[in-house]
Amino acid sequence: MREYQNIAASCVNFQNVGILIVGNSGSGKSSLVLSLIEKGATLISDDRTDIYIKNNQLTAKAPDLLKGLLEVRGIGIVKGLPTLQETPIQAVIHLTDEKPERFLLSHHEKIAGRDVFSFSFWKNDFFLTNKVLIAIKIVNKEVSIVTF
């Protein structure tokens, strides 16, 4: 039997990268998920996510009651979007109320003892989706971060 931890987060899989999206209520987690789905991502969970260890990897899935559902503010709760049951998590996106530092020293954090990529973006950034797509390219080693 797996031990689940339910957290306030959304999750998608994009190009085989599991992305956990965290932020305060109203920070735009669901809007970012919708934007990423429009770019080809697959929904794992919206608003609440069960995380657990499977095959020694941090893994995410939707709680049973929320499987396949996405809240679209101004419309309501929708179903029928591309969905996966679960995904290993390789990155976490933090949606922040304040603009983060321009250059961060670390792009990793530990969740449940597992090392994952970590990126912080201002929740109101006009180019938020584009920055998340660059983060995915970093995870996939298609681009790299230059340090001086």
In a domain, 99, yes or no: yes
89-102 pLDDT, tens digit each: 999 999 999 988 88
5-26 pLDDT, tens digit each: 999 999 999 999 999 999 998 8
pLDDT at 112: 84
Neighbours of 61 (CB within 10 A): 21
The whole-angstrom separation of Cα 5 and Cα 65 is 15
In a domain, 51, yes or no: yes
Count how many domains the chain has: 1
30 vs 109: which has the higher pLDDT: 30
The domain that holds 25 is classified in CATH as 3.40.50.300
In a domain, 145, yes or no: no
Residue 121 has pLDDT above 90, yes or no: yes
Contact residues for 87 (Cβ-Cβ < 8 A; gap 6+): 11, 13, 18, 44, 59, 60, 61
87 vs 109: which has the higher pLDDT: 87
Tell me what the pLDDT averaged over the chain comes to.
92
In a domain, 110, yes or no: yes
Helices (H) and strands (E) counted in the chain, each on its own, are: 2, 12
Contact in structure between 95 and 140 (CB atoms under 8 Å): no
Instruction: Quote the domain boundaries for residue 112.
Output: 5-139
Contact in structure between 19 and 12 (CB atoms under 8 Å): yes
For residues 43-62, give the mean pLDDT. Answer: 95
pLDDT at 1: 39
What is the β-pairing status of strands 91-96 and 57-61?
A: unpaired
pLDDT at 110: 86
Out of 4-8, 70-74, 100-104, 108-112, least confident range: 100-104
Longest dimension (CA), the chain: 48
pLDDT at 30: 95
Which of 37, 10, 36 has its CA nearest to residue 24? 10
For residues 78-105, give the mean pLDDT. Answer: 91
In a domain, 147, yes or no: no
Residue 123 has pLDDT above 60, yes or no: yes
Query: Any idea what DSSP says for residue 89?
Result: -
